[in-house]
Amino acid sequence: MSAAPPAGQSGHGGAGPVRVVIVDDSAVQRRFARSALEADGKMTVVGEARNGRDAVAMVDKLRPEAVLMDLHLPVMNGIEAIERIMAMRPTPILVYSAFVDGEDRDNAAAALAAGAVDVMAKPGPSDAGHLEEYAEALRRRLRVAGRARVITHPRGRLGGANVALSTRRLGGGQAPTVAAVPPQSCPADGLPPRKVRLIGIGASTGGPQALATVLAELPGDLEAAVVVVQHMADGFIEGLAHWLDGLCPLPVSVAVSGRRLMPGTVSVAPSGTNLIVHDTLRVTMQEPSSTQYHVPGIDETLSSIAAAVGPYAVGALLTGMGRDGAVGLKRMRERGALTIAQDEATSAVYGMPAAAVAIGAAELQLPIGEIGPALRHVARVAKEPTS
Torsion angle (degrees, nearest 10) of CA 283, 287, 292, 293: 80
Q: Are both 20 and 141 inside the same structural domain? A: yes
The enclosing domain of 73 has a CATH number of: 3.40.50.2300
Q: Which pLDDT belongs to residue 129?
A: 59
Question: How many residues can be counted in the chain?
Answer: 387
Q: Which pLDDT belongs to residue 266?
A: 98
| Percent share of the chain, pLDDT over 70 | 81
* For residue 154, cis peptide bond before it (omega within 30 degrees of 0): no
Q: Are both 107 and 192 inside the same structural domain? A: no
Q: Does residue 324 carry a catalytic annotation?
A: yes
Q: Does residue 234 carry a catalytic annotation?
A: no
> Does the residue 339 lie in any domain?
yes
Quick: pLDDT tens for 346-356. Answer: 998 899 999 99
Q: Are both 150 and 192 inside the same structural domain? A: no
Q: Which pLDDT belongs to residue 152?
A: 62
d(CA 320, CA 143): 13
Q: Are both 202 and 327 inside the same structural domain? A: yes
Q: Are both 193 and 54 inside the same structural domain? A: no
Q: Are both 211 and 127 inside the same structural domain? A: no
The one catalytic residue in 294, 324, 343, 347 is: 324
CB burial readout 213-250, b (16+ within 10 A) else e: bbbbbbeeebebbbbbbbbbbebbbbbbbbbbbbbbeb
Q: Which pLDDT belongs to residue 365?
A: 96
Q: Which pLDDT belongs to residue 117?
A: 86
Looking at per-residue confidence, does 84 or 161 come out higher? 84
Greatest C-alpha distance within the chain? 73
Quick: pLDDT tens for 162-173. Answer: 334 433 333 333
Q: Which pLDDT belongs to residue 126?
A: 66
Give the angle subtended at the CA of 31 by the CAs of 41 and 90, to the nearest 5°: 70
Q: Are both 214 and 153 inside the same structural domain? A: no
Q: How many CB atoms lie within 10 A of CB 318?
A: 32
| Of residues 72, 155, 74, the one with CA closest to residue 116 | 155
The one catalytic residue in 97, 204, 303, 304 is: 204
Q: Are both 113 and 193 inside the same structural domain? A: no
> Does the residue 174 lie in any domain?
no
Three-class SS state of 101: coil
**What burial class does residue 9 get, using C-beta atoms within 10 Å of its C-beta: 0-12 exposed, 13-18 middle, 19+ buried?**
exposed
> Does the residue 269 lie in any domain?
yes
Three-class SS state of 135: helix
Q: Are both 221 and 363 inside the same structural domain? A: yes
> Does the residue 173 lie in any domain?
no
The one catalytic residue in 231, 242, 304, 347 is: 231
Q: Are both 216 and 67 inside the same structural domain? A: no
Give the domain extent around 252: 187-378
d(CA 152, CA 170): 18
Q: Which residues contact 74 (CB under 8 A, 6 or more apart)?
A: 25, 50, 51, 52
Q: What is the pTM of this model?
A: 0.77
Q: Are both 159 and 216 inside the same structural domain? A: no
What's the mean pLDDT in 203-220? 92
pLDDT for 12 beyond 70? no
Domain count, the chain: 2
**Which H or E run contains 373?**
helix 368-378
Q: Which pLDDT belongs to residue 36?
A: 93
Q: Which pLDDT belongs to residue 105?
A: 65
> Does the residue 176 lie in any domain?
no
Looking at per-residue confidence, does 129 or 94 come out higher? 94
> Does the residue 182 lie in any domain?
no
Q: Which pLDDT belongs to residue 10?
A: 32
pLDDT band at 109; cut points 50, 70, 90: confident
Q: Are both 209 and 136 inside the same structural domain? A: no
Q: Does residue 204 carry a catalytic annotation?
A: yes
The enclosing domain of 262 has a CATH number of: 3.40.50.180
Looking at per-residue confidence, does 175 or 108 come out higher? 108
> Does the residue 386 lie in any domain?
no
